[in-house]
Chain A
């Protein structure tokens, strides 16, 4: 698949996404929008599209970076406790600073996500049994422990309903005014592009990096900061989108290889396309109602994930 085709698909789907919904806005009206239609577009549809694009791209890239740095194909924000830690962070910020604005919430959530991911990487260093499947299992357990802390705190402070809203990723609540924080991801992803070479080298191990004069620790830390910051902003605005960071990078790697310079853009585009498709399906399947994105992504994603596992077994990689 070439970048060109991916871009064309993405543009077509983006248009489709803008014109799918309960309020009737047809592509033919685009030059003579009524006031209401214009409002629907500007307040709901376009922000929704933008948030889908950013979430799809950034969560996939986070997964790619994590897989590279941990040297394990099954590590992603979902399977390393990053998402759960980010959620715990949001909860803590709500309990401690009741009037926290979204930006402050994001900072606290970022700190927790960073701490959680860092703890997971430290555990990875200590674990002797480096089986490819074993490590994400540890990550899932770790994530569940963090998650149980969230549930505990939420019970104590009567916030259960509140946290379940981030448990399920959902784009239907996205409107002008409540998603802009996601734009934080864009400059961070651009930095990721500049570091593509360094992440690839770091993925070959500490010795290999040192031999080439690369400051391994610094690059790994930067990678984790990127992952934590992006995850925190996405969880806060949209909620958890499972599997995304796991399957998209793995699919891209199959045909594009592990050189981040070659795979980053593909990962970003394919991630956005995947979330767009899932979102459109979720919007039309029980029209005029909606299925949350985490459900569609979860169903399609876990199917793809099983396929990838079997494929891996077949080719022995």
Chain B
């Protein structure tokens, strides 16, 4: 399917940078709220890790950053062209002939 944008098309809700900025602002506010709640509410502690203040928030953030950074490095080792395996089979069938 080829792109077929209509030049007269009205820009959508997410096309306006101001709308996106507002969504992000609300999102940041919720994050702060959740972070602060951790110090207000008494939550149950099951493991020693959970005694760290705002453990889940910090862990979630760090985990995802580490995940993405490692995955990026994995690309250097694991990434091949889209036709990597196809080429292989072509060569093979060539040899067979």
| A joins B in a complex | no
Chain A residues in the interface with B (C-beta under 8 A): none
Chain B residues in the interface with A (C-beta under 8 A): none
